[in-house]
Chain A
Amino acid sequence: MRQISTALKLDENRLASPAALAAYRESILAERDPNRPIIIVCHGTGCLATNSPKVADTLRRAIAAAGLQAQVVPEIKTTGCHGFCSRGPLVIFHPTGLFYQRVQPEDVEEIVQTTLLEGKPVERLLYVDPNTGEHIVHDHDIPFYKYQQRLVLRNIGKIDPADIRDTIAAGGYQSLAKVLAGMTPEEVIAVVETSGLRGRGGGGFLAGRKWRLAVENVRKSPGPVYVVGNGDEGDPGAFMDRTLMEGDPHAVLEGMIIGAYALGAQQGYIYVRLEYPLAVRHLSVAIEQARALGLLGQNILGTGFDFDIKINRGAGAFVCGEETALIASLEGRVGEPKTRPPYPAEKGLWNRPTIINNVETWGNVPQIIEKGADWFAGMGVPHSTGTKIFSLVGKVNNVGLVEVPMGITLGRIVEEIGGGVPGRDEFKAVQTGGPSGGCIPWELKDTPVDFDSLTRVGSMMGSGGMIVMDKRDCMVDVAKYFLEFLMDESCGKCVPCRMGLERMHAMLGEFTMGKGSLEDLDELHSLAEGIKDGSLCALGGTAPNPVLSTIRYFRDEYEAHILHKTCPGKVCRELITYAINSELCNGCTLCARECPAGAITGVKKKPHEINSSLCIKCGVCFEVCKPEAVEIL
Chain B
Amino acid sequence: MISFTINDREVTGQEGWTILEVAKWHGIDIPTLCYHGAVEPYGACRLCVVEVDDGQQRRLVASCLHPVQEGLKVQTDSERVKNVRRWILQMMVDEHPGSQRIKELAKSYGVKESRFKSDRVEDLCILCGLCVRACDEVVGARAISLGNRGVRKEVATTHRLPSPECVACGTCLYVCPTGAMEQLFDRIRG
Contact = CB atoms under 8 A, between A and B. Distances in A.
Complex: A in contact with B (CB within 8 Å): yes
Interface of A: 317, 334, 338-339, 341, 487-496, 498-500, 502-503, 506, 526-527, 529-531, 533-536
Nearest to B69: A341
Interface stretch (B24-32, B79-87, B161-169, B176-184): B79-87
B151 interface: yes
7 contacts: A341-B67, A499-B91, A499-B95, A502-B151, A530-B84, A530-B87, A533-B60
Q: Which of A338, A503, A526 counts the most chain B CB atoms within 10 A?
A: A503
B150 interface: yes
A502 to B, nearest CB: 6
B189 to A, nearest CB: 24
Nearest to B128: A495
Given A489-B150, A494-B43, A506 B88 contact: no
Interface in B132-153: 146, 148-153
B163 to A, nearest CB: 18
Contacts of B173: none
B44 A534 contact: no
A interface secondary structure, majority: helix
Contacts of B175: none
Interface in B99-117: 116
B65 A339 contact: yes
Nearest to A319: B149
A525 to B, nearest CB: 11
B131 interface: no
Nearest to B148: A492
Nearest to A531: B87
Contacts of A527: 87
Given A496-B46, A533-B83, A487 B150 contact: yes
Q: Which of B59, B80, B88, B152 counts the most chain A CB atoms within 10 A?
A: B88
Contacts of B150: 487-492, 498
Contact of B91 (A341, A487, A491, A495): A495
Contact of B62 (A488, A503, A536): A536
Contacts of B86: 530
Interface residues of B, number: 34
A533 B49 contact: yes
Contacts of B62: 339, 536
Contacts, number: 90
A496 B43 contact: no
B7 to A, nearest CB: 18
B149 A491 contact: yes
A490 B152 CA distance: 10
Contact of B87 (A317, A334, A341, A534): A534
A562 to B, nearest CB: 16
Contact of B149 (A338, A490, A494): A490
A534 B49 contact: yes
Contacts of A498: 127, 150-151, 153
Contacts of A488: 150
B156 interface: no
Contacts of A534: 46, 49, 60, 84, 87-88
Given A490-B150, A494-B45, A498-B151, 8 more contacts: A317-B149, A339-B43, A494-B43, A495-B45, A495-B47, A499-B88, A527-B87, A533-B84
A490 B47 CA distance: 19
A503 B116 contact: yes
A610 to B, nearest CB: 34
Contacts of A494: 43-46
B110 to A, nearest CB: 14
Nearest to A491: B149
B153 A492 contact: yes
A363 to B, nearest CB: 31
A496 B149 contact: no
B59 to A, nearest CB: 8
A338 B42 CA distance: 9
Contacts of B148: 492
B68 interface: no
A486 to B, nearest CB: 9
A424 to B, nearest CB: 42
Contact of A496 (B61, B87, B146, B153): B87
Contacts of B91: 495, 499-500, 503
B173 to A, nearest CB: 22
B124 interface: no
Contacts of A500: 87, 91
B126 interface: yes
Contacts of A334: 146
Contacts of B61: 339
A496 to B, nearest CB: 6
A295 B87 CA distance: 54
A499 B65 CA distance: 21
